[in-house]
Amino acid sequence: MHFYPSERIALFIDGANLYAASKTLSFDIDYKRLLSLFRSKGQLVRALYYTALAEDQEYSSIRPLIDWLDYNGYTMVTKPTKEFVDATGRRKVKGNMDIELAVDAMELADHLDHLVIFSGDGDFRSLVESLQHKGKRVSVISTLSTNPPMVADELRRQADQFIDLVDLQHSIGRTPSERPPRDNRRRPDAENEGEAFEASNLIET
């Protein structure tokens, strides 16, 4: 990774996308270590985490993660999921946060030098290009180490820097022995960030 120490940095994390990538690579994200890593690279202005929530559920398995992040240096951006029935009559859940991420990135760009997008979604290529036209550096973090790759080729080519998530595993991964006991995972102060995200598997983006 190449960052300048004087750069003002912000992280834009597509939660469901990052979760899917890390699980495919068979490791859990330690979000405390992730924050520490980027604080060491420059002046970290903001770390934003985007995810959709099923509000009609009494308890969601993603809620402990959201609570932990909210108490530990992340800015949470959430919205309710939407249920719909597709053409085959199957009930599906939609929770795409692309617009929210793009709007925030454009609004914050004037206060930043380097934007880091945690997503492989090719829809962000135009966003990256627009940020570059503003004179900003943009890094994309996803992975090529899966079959098929989880990052769109057009997004990877557009970014100033592509960072493969597998290369960060030693810096931001959680080892199995570090996982907290299951009965501690609902406490906001517990280090349970990578464990509570099973619900995102239900969200189609």
pLDDT for 136 equals 98
What is the SS3 assignment for 142? strand
Looking up tokens 């501690």, which residue turns up?
Answer: 184
What is the SS3 assignment for 117? strand
Q: Which of 1-10, 44-53, 67-76, 168-177 has the lowest mean pLDDT?
A: 168-177
Please enumerate in sequence order all residues whose Cβ is within 8 A of that of 98, keeping only pairs 6 or more positions apart, or say none: 14, 121, 123, 124, 205
pLDDT for 90 equals 73
Length of the chain: 205
Q: How far is CA 83 from CA 56, 79, 92, 136, in A?
A: 11, 13, 6, 37
The model's confidence at residue 52, banded by pLDDT at 50, 70 and 90, is confident
pLDDT for 139 equals 98
Q: Tell me, which fold does domain 8-202 have in CATH?
A: Rossmann fold (3.40.50)
Q: What is the mean pLDDT of the chain?
A: 83
Extents of the domains making up the chain: 8-202
Please enumerate in sequence order all residues whose Cβ is within 8 A of that of 155, keeping only pairs 6 or more positions apart, or say none: 119, 120, 121, 122, 124, 125, 128, 140, 142
CA angle 104, 107, 112 (to 5 degrees): 100
pLDDT for 96 equals 78
